[in-house]
Every structure is written in C-alpha cells, then in structure tokens.
C-alpha cells in the first residue's frame, strides 16, 4: 500500500514507504528494481516483533470510514475496538485516544474491515475461514469482513474483541506467542466468557514499554461489616488506590487491579471531590466507625450504608467541615494520613512533619508535631522519603503500614513479636525498611487516557 | 447482505464464493508453511543473476504477484538454508523420502509449536490445525529478517525467556465480569 511517508522520528525501526511511480521501463533493470522494491516492502513488512513499536505513550487510533464492517453497527464496532485498546492500556503505560478528525497520516493506528483485495493492502484476504485479520508494523490493522465477527457475549462466531486485542498486540510490537492462555497465540480460540489479558502477556508488553508507575493520592482498605445467611457478622475489606480523579480496586489475591479499572471517582464514590482527594482515613475502634475523606482545607465523612457522603455530622455540623475545626491543631491541606488502631492516633503528614491526632482526646498527641524522620526513622541510614509523603496506608493484607512517595514505598517495621523484630531485634520503633518500587508489590496499576474513563 | 434468519445471526449463510481455500494436500500445506514463515523464503543475496536469465518475456508478465510466484516455483531447485530442526527423538511415521527436507522440517516445526505430535507427516491433525481460523501475521521471523537487524533478533531472544517462564508465583486469575 502506498501511504504518505510517516515521520520516522516517532517510530523506531521504520523504513520510508515507497511509491509506485518510479518503475523503470528497461526489462532487466525492471527486474532488479522490482526485486529491490519487493525487498524494501518486505523490509517494511519485515517487522521486528519483540521490539517497542512506538516511542510515545499516547497513541491515536481510528476505525477508517471506508473500512466499516457490514455485520455490526458502527457504534458496536467502535465500542469493541475502544474496549480492546482500553484492555491494553489497563496493563501497560500506553494510552489510546480515538481520533476521527486529524489527517490520517497523524493517526498512529488505523483499523478497517475489508474482504479479498482490501484497503490498498498487498495481502489479500481469503474469504470466510482461516485468516481473519492481519496487522502491519506501521500501525494498520485489517479485519476480514467475510468472517462472522460478533460482539462480546453474543452468539457463535469470531469475537471481534479478541481479534482486535490480538492485532493491536502485534502493532504494539508483540510477536505470536505459543502459550496456553496467551492472547497472542496465532490460532483463534473461541472466546471463553470474560477473556482478559493474562499475567505473561502483561509482562510481555511491559517488557517492551516498561511497567506502570506514578504517584497516588491515597491508598486505603475499605472495611465493611456484612451479615452471612447464618446471621454472623463478617468483616470484609477491599483495597483501593486513588490517583487524581480516578481509582482502582486492587485484588490482592490475584495480584492485579479489578478488570475494567480505573474508573472515574464519581462513579464509585458519591459526594467527594471529583478531581481527587488528599487522604482517606477509617477511624475504627470500640466507639467509632467513621471514614473521612480529606481535600484541601476540608473533609467529608462517608456513609457506608447509603454509599455517599454525609451532609451533617452527629453533632449537627454541616459537611464538608474545615479540617482545623474537626481536627484542632492539624494544619491543612495535608499530604496524607492514616489511622493506627494500635494507639488510636490519626497520623497526619505535611511536609517533613507528622502530626499524631488522638481521636479519643480530640487533640494532638503530646509532643507533636515531630519530624517524620524522628517518628519513622530509617532502618538503613539515608534510605528515607524525607517528607512530602504521597500516601500512607495500613494494609490488612500485609498487616503493615506503608508510606508511598512517587513510585516507591517504605514499609514500617512491625512492632511487638513480629517477624521483623524476631529477625532484627534492634530495629527502631516504627522504623522504615529499605524502599522498594510500588510495582514490585502492587502489580499493573495503570492509567488509561482520560477519554477512556467512564463517567 | 449475507442471509440469516435468527436474531443473533448465528445461522449466517456464507456464499461459497466467499469461502477461504482449505488446506487439503501437501501443495496447499507448503503454501501455508511458507506464508507463515515456517519455510524460509529464498535468500536473494545468494541468487546469482546472469545477463540473460531466460525468464519469460514481457508478454507473459501479467502482474507482480504472478511474476514473482513464477520465480518462486522455479527456485525450489535453489539451495535453501536448513531451518533449525530440533529432532527430539520422536520416531517418525516415515515421511515420504522424496519430499524436500525443508518441507518436512517446516512441518515438524509447525506441529511442535501447535502442540501436535511431531511426525513430519501431513496428517489429519496437522490439516485440522492448519485450517483453524488464525491471524495473518507470520509465525516465524525468517532467519534472513532476523540477521538483517541483529538488534531485533537479540531483543526477541531477550524476550523469549520471559515469555516462556512461569510467573514468579502462581497467579490464579478469576474470570470476573468486567
């Protein structure tokens, strides 16, 4: 296919496209020219699977107008393809945005349906059966419209979602992978319900584009009391990571975020600021079971039962309230905060200081504020976040407190008869263990393009 | 319009003219193996062109595809590099000795990666596997491609161990609805 030259700058390993007008007339040189051009084309086709195909992280895509399928509504086609891109975005640092306006040469990934000789492509489709799609290293994806493509969970046929995820994988640089469960297997396997990108395919794409990194506004375990059918009260918790205006539920047992996350804050949390919060604190002891969201100089209490913020607190104060009123002595805005059930203190962090707030006495604990380095000393000298903590989190899964800053975290050494102290009795109280990368313990927490956030 | 009657279009009737050609015999199997990279294409650097090659004159030149396929048919007598043939000791069901070694080793490679028994014989199981719906991107980067840009093949080599090892700890995936 003769395409306008795309700039080589944003695509490594790309050779210039060729044009048909430069064919010679003399027979012998024509042979050589055809073969060299053939080889050039093959060089273009000669992909380098296994390499990152794009050097930028936000990629534009378009389902081209002359390439709509005749079997699904245009809306369905775009929805399915948008979902396919989102699935890759949920497990990689890449973000995708549909672009229906820019000149075609500025669109990174162009998709289209066709049959037989199609869309100027030099690889003909073979009709129904066998080959159902192909992808070109420069970002073109063609689907054989003679195939019976179907939307997810609708009847037999070939799942357009699965095929689209596979071909997008190629365009991003993945080769065929012969591994059970891999979406990059060459042959189509009828879609089991709820197909998702598995662990190894995630690592394969991250091997090309890197893992997902970024700061978090807050991380917390949401505790719920539920009653079983036998009337027993059961305590359940879920882990949430929040960043700016969106959040993920993190499934600790399966080492991944919930499929389909991130989601816009207002979808799941009603009444809190839609552009993000500074902290979430769950004060849970014999007398109190209250969840607070902090943002700027204000805070809200969340009503678990009604799944929305409270408008008035038990004493009749209207929410949102000023932090300085509800938590005297605590400055605002804060960087983050967490509640420590061992001493019933809320630890508020701001800059290089930490403010322990005694919820029982409703005042700062004696001797506070103090330096974070004093309250949470480094176990390894020099290995300490210093200040401006992004998030602090007590994890019920790990039974430990974590301080997050940028893409790293520090675990607070456990107190009492813990493994930490058994191994190293000399550990300082609340000492910070050496830092690790967030991505080493909480996997694949990836952004999607704002346009892909469901509101 | 493709004719159907049921609401979910599951009884869609495909006109026979639109049916893909099935892999039924060794010739079509060889085309399959060549198309998806199991049989190495001719390495043009090794081909010596004399002044007059006796290639059919212009009148027969009908178009790029036919022209090249004409050449490809003639090149079976040309030497082809061996694809790596890891014979893992499977006792062969005596593939036809006259078939080219390249076809047999390509067939074995395809059988191996497809999880079939590696016989080197174009048997029914292989025929079924070849006719499954599949992606049009070649399965194997031919050696010539890889050596052309060592950087690529090195990266792929670097990628492969990662692709073939299990995750550090079992990661049961629960298929929850999105």
- Name the catalytic one among A167, A226, A232, A325: A167
Q: How many CB atoms lie within 10 A of CB A83?
A: 18
User: Of A230-239, A338-347, B123-132, which gets the smallest average pLDDT?
Assistant: A230-239
Q: How many CB atoms lie within 10 A of CB A307?
A: 11
* Residue of A130, A200, A201, A261 for testing the chain B interface, max B β-carbons within 10 Å: A130
Query: Which residues make beta-bridge pairs with A355?
Result: A348
Distance from CA of B10 to the nearest CA of A (A): 6
Confidence band of A157 (pLDDT split at 50, 70, 90): confident
Is pLDDT of B173 > 60?
no
Q: Which among B68, B135, B145 has the least Cβ separation from residue A46?
A: B145
Length reported for chain A: 455
Q: Is the ipTM of this complex over 0.95?
A: no
Q: Which among A51, A147, A155 has the least Cβ separation from residue B9?
A: A155
Residues in B 50-89 with any Cβ partner in A closer than 8 A? 53, 55, 57-58, 64, 67-68
Chain B CB contacts of A167 under 8 Å are: 135, 137
Active site residue A251: no
Report whether A166 contacts A197 (CB < 8 A): no
B64–A48: do the CB atoms touch at under 8 Å? no
Chain B CB contacts of A146 under 8 Å are: 14, 18, 20
* CA–CA dist A78, A408 (Å, integer): 37
List, for residues B2-51, the tens digit of each pLDDT value: 677 776 666 777 666 778 889 999 999 999 999 999 987 655 454 444 44
Report whether A246 contacts A264 (CB < 8 A): yes
Length reported for chain B: 178
The token pair at A338 is 């967490």
User: Of A342-346, B79-83, B98-102, B168-172, which gets the smallest average pLDDT?
Assistant: B79-83
- The mean predicted confidence, pLDDT, of chain A is 87
Is pLDDT of A144 > 60?
yes
Chain B CB contacts of A70 under 8 Å are: 1-2
For A351-409, give the DSSP string.
Answer: TTEEEEEETTTTEEPTT-SEEHHHHS-BSSTT-S--S--SEEEEETTTTEEEEEETTEE
- The distance of Cα A1 from the centroid of its chain, to the nearest Å, equals 35
List, for residues B94-120, the tens digit of each pLDDT value: 555 556 889 999 999 999 999 999 999
Is pLDDT of A392 > 70?
yes
Report whether A289 contacts A274 (CB < 8 A): no
- Higher pLDDT among residues B149 and A69, named by residue: A69
Q: Which among A155, A167, A198 has the least Cβ separation from residue B135?
A: A167
Which whole number is the average pLDDT over B151-158? 36
Chain A CB contacts of B21 under 8 Å are: 126-127, 130
* CA–CA dist A241, A445 (Å, integer): 8
- Per residue, the 3-state secondary structure of chain B, as one string, reads CCCCCCCCCCCCCCCHHHECCCCCCHHHHHHHHHHCCCCCCCCHHHCCCCCCCCCCCHHHCCCHHHHHHHHHHHHHHCCCCCCCCCCCCCCCCCCCCCCCHHHHHHHHHHHHHCCCCCCCCCCHHHHHHHCCCEECCCCCCCHHHHHHCHHHHHHHHHHHHHHHCCCCCCCCCCCCCC
Q: How many CB atoms lie within 10 A of CB B178?
A: 15
Q: What is the DSSP letter of A7?
A: P
Chain B CB contacts of A208 under 8 Å are: 159
Query: Which residues make beta-bridge pairs with A358?
Result: A345, A363
Q: Which among A71, A175, A196 has the least Cβ separation from residue B173?
A: A196
B177 has a chain A CB within 8 A of its CB: yes
Integer angstrom CA distances of residue B148 from A32, A46, A170, A197: 20, 10, 20, 32
Integer angstrom CA distances of residue A326 from A63, A323, A367, B57: 53, 5, 20, 93
Nearest CA in chain B to A122: B65
Task: Look at residue A286 in the predicted model and tell me its pLDDT.
Answer: 87
B21–A127: do the CB atoms touch at under 8 Å? yes
A126 burial (CB, 10 Å; 0-12 / 13-18 / 19+) is buried
Is pLDDT of B67 > 80?
no
A130–B167: do the CB atoms touch at under 8 Å? no
Nearest CA in chain A to B146: A48
Chain B CB contacts of A255 under 8 Å are: 169, 171
């Amino acid at each position: 296919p003769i395409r306008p030259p795309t700039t080589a700058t944003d695509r490594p390993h790309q050779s210039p496209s060729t044009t048909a007008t430069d064919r010679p007339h003399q027979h012998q040189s024509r042979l050589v020219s055809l073969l060299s051009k053939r080889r050039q084309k093959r060089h273009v086709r000669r992909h380098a699977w296994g390499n990152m195909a794009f050097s930028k992280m936000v990629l534009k895509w378009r389902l081209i107008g002359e390439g709509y399928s005749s079997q699904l509504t245009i809306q369905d086609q775009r929805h399915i393809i948008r979902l396919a891109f989102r699935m890759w975005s949920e497990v990689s640092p890449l973000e995708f945005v549909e672009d229906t306006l820019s000149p075609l040469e500025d669109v990174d990934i162009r998709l289209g349906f066709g049959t037989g000789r199609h869309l100027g492509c030099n690889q003909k489709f073979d009709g129904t059966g066998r080959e159902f799609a192909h992808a070109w290293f420069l970002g073109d994806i063609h689907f054989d419209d003679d195939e019976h493509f179907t939307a997810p969970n609708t009847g037999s046929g070939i799942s357009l979602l699965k095929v689209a995820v596979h071909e997008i994988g190629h365009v991003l640089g993945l080769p065929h992978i012969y591994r059970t469960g891999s979406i990059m297997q060459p042959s189509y396997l009828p879609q089991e319900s709820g197909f998702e990108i598995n662990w190894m395919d995630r690592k394969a794409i991250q091997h090309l584009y890197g893992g997902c990194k970024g700061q978090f506004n807050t991380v917390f375990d949401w505790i719920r009391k539920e009653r079983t059918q036998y009337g027993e009260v059961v305590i359940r918790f879920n882990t949430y990571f929040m960043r700016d205006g969106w959040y993920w539920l993190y499934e600790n047992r399966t080492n991944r975020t919930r499929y389909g996350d991130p989601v816009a804050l207002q979808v799941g949390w009603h009444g809190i600021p839609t552009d993000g919060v500074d902290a979430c604190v769950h004060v849970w002891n014999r007398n109190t079971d209250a969840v607070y969201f902090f943002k700027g100089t204000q805070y809200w209490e969340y009503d678990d039962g009604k799944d929305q913020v409270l408008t008035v607190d038990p004493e009749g104060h209207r929410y949102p309230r000023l932090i300085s009123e509800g938590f005297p002595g605590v400055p605002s805005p804060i960087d983050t905060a967490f509640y420590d059930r061992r001493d019933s203190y809320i630890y508020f962090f701001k800059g290089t200081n930490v403010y322990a707030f005694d919820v029982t006495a409703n005042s700062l604990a004696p001797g506070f504020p103090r330096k974070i380095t004093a309250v949470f000393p480094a176990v390894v000298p020099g290995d300490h976040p210093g200040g401006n903590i992004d998030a602090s989190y007590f994890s019920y899964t790990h039974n430990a407190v974590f301080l997050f800053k940028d893409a790293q975290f520090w675990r607070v050494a456990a107190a009492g008869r813990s493994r930490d102290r058994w191994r190293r009795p000399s550990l300082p109280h609340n000492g910070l263990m050496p830092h690790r990368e967030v991505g080493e313990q909480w996997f694949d927490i990836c952004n999607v393009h704002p346009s892909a956030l469901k509101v | 319009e493709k004719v159907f009657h049921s609401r979910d279009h599951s009884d869609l009737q495909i006109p026979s003219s639109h049916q893909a050609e099935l892999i039924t015999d060794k010739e079509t199997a060889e085309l399959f193996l060549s198309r998806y990279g199991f049989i190495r294409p001719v390495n043009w650097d090794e081909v010596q062109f004399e002044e007059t090659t006796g290639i059919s004159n212009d009148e027969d030149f009908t178009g790029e595809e036919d022209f090249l396929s004409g050449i490809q048919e003639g090149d079976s007598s040309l030497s082809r590099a061996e694809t790596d043939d890891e014979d893992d000791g499977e006792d062969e069901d005596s593939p036809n000795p006259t078939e080219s070694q390249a076809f047999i080793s390509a067939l074995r490679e395809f059988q191996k990666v497809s999880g079939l028994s590696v016989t080197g014989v174009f048997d029914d199981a292989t025929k079924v596997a070849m006719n499954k719906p599949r992606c049009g991107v070649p399965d194997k980067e031919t050696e010539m491609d890889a050596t052309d840009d060592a950087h690529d093949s090195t990266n792929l080599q670097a990628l492969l161990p990662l692709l073939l090892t299990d995750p550090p700890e079992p990661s049961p995936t629960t298929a929850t609805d999105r």
